[in-house]
A = this chain, B = another copy of it.
Amino acid sequence: MGDWMVVPVRIELLTTGTELLLGTTRDTHGAWVGQRLLGLGLRIARQVTVPDGQAVGKAMRTGLEEGEVLIVTGGLGPTSDDLTRESLAEVLGLEMIEDKATLRTIEEFFASRRRVMAEANRKQALVPVGADILANPNGTAPGLYLAPGLSGRCNCAVFLLPGPPRELYPMFEAEVVPRLRALSGIEEGPDCVELKFVGIGESDFHQGVDEQLESIGGLEHGYCARPGEVDLRLIGTPDVVKEGRLVAETAFAHELVSDDGASLEEVVVRLLTGQGMTVAVAESCTGGLIASRITDVSGSSEVFRYGFVTYANEAKCDLIGVDREDLLEHGAVSEPVACQMAEGALRVGKADMAVAVTGIAGPTGGSEGKPVGTVFLGLAVRGGETRVVKQFHPWGRDVFKRQVSQSALNLVRQALVG
C-alpha cells in the first residue's frame, strides 16, 4: 500500500439504512466520502453500517467516543424509522426545537412543486439546540452540524447528512469540506491527479512503472482497474506528483486518455467536436453499446448522426452493403466483413470516420478457429486506408461487450490524436 500520509483527524463514518445490510442496496457513501476526503489529505478511520432504528444511537455513541469527527449519513427522512436526528439529541442530551426558518424552507420546497407538505415532514424542522443547519437545495431534509464540545458530553464534531447521493454530494462540498478544512487545519490538500489509461491493465503498470513510482519519496500511488481501462492516482506535493506523472506518461504515452476524470467517450466527443468531424458506428456483437456510450455525452448530436446495429448477417448486407459472398466465404466474424462494415457505415452514414465491430460475445457461437471472445474491429476514415484489428476478450458476455466498446472508442481516439 505504500506509506500513507499522517492523518491529522480521526474521522468516523456511520452509514445508516436497513437496506444496506439486506443486499437490496449497495453502500456507495464509503467509497464516495473516502475519495473526497483523500483529496483533502484526510482518511476514514472506520466505517460502521447499521440498520435504521435502535442500533443507530448505540453506533453513534461509539463513534463519538472514538472519533474526532463523526459523519452520519441517512435517516433524516420524514418516516418513523428515520431517527438519526432524535438519536443524536438523546445521546448528547440536547433539547430539540422547531426551527422556523427550516420549516418555512420545507414548506416552500413543497409549494414550488405544487404539492402539500405532509404532517410527517414537520419533524424535519426539529434541530438540537446550538446546531448549525446545513442547507439542502435538493431535498426537504436539512443537514446538521454540531461543533466539538457543543454538548459537554463529548468533544467530537458531528455532521448529520442526508442519504440520497443527489442531496448528499452537493451538501458535502458546500458545507462539510470547508468545516473539515478548518477542523483539521489543512489549508490545502496535497496535489491529487488521476490519469486514465485505456487498452492496458494494472499488471502492465506493475511490470512497467511500479518500482519507479515507489522510488519517488513522498509520492503515493494507487490503481483502479475496470475492463479495458485503469486509473492511476498520484498524491503528494506538486513536485513529486509531477515527477510521478512524467514516469507514467513516458511509459504509456499512447494509452493516456485524460487527466481530468473525463471518460473515454467524453474525450472522443471532445476531439471530434474540436476537429469538426463526425463518426458513424456499425455494431454487431456490441449491439448498440458503442452508440449508446457516445450518446451518453451531452453535445454528441454534433458529431454522431448514424448508428447501425447489424446483429443479423442480412442486416450487414442490407444496411451497409457488406458483400454476401464475402460473408459466406469468410464468416461474419472476419477481417473482410469488419472492413466492409466500417466502409459501409462511413458511406451510408455520410461520416468522416466510422468504426465497426463484429465478434462472438458468447456463451454460444464459438468454434475452434474462432472461439468465444474473438472480435474484429474496423476503422474507416474518409480519404484514408481502412484498418482492421483482431482482438480476443474471453471473459463473459458483459465484460466482452464493454471491452470491445472500449477498444472501438480507443481506435477512434487514436486516429484523432494522430
Contact = CB atoms under 8 A, between A and B. Distances in A.
Interface of A: 1, 4, 18-28, 30-36, 38, 43-52, 55, 59, 62, 81, 222-224, 231, 233, 281, 283, 286-292, 294-296, 298-301, 304-312, 314-315, 318-319, 348-350, 361-365, 397-398, 401
Contacts of A309: 281, 288, 291, 295, 306-309
Given A298-B363, A312-B306, A27 B22 contact: no
Given A287-B292, A306-B310, A306-B319, A30 B31 contact: no
A286 B296 contact: no
B35 A30 contact: no
B315 A311 contact: no
Nearest to A223: B24
Nearest to A233: B24
Given A27-B30, A306-B315, A21 B48 contact: no
Contacts of A44: 21
Contacts of A348: 318-319
Contact of A25 (B31, B46, B319): B31
B298 A397 contact: yes
18 contacts: A18-B222, A21-B43, A21-B47, A23-B33, A26-B28, A62-B62, A287-B304, A287-B307, A288-B290, A288-B291, A288-B292, A288-B307, A295-B311, A295-B401, A296-B398, A296-B401, A298-B361, A304-B311
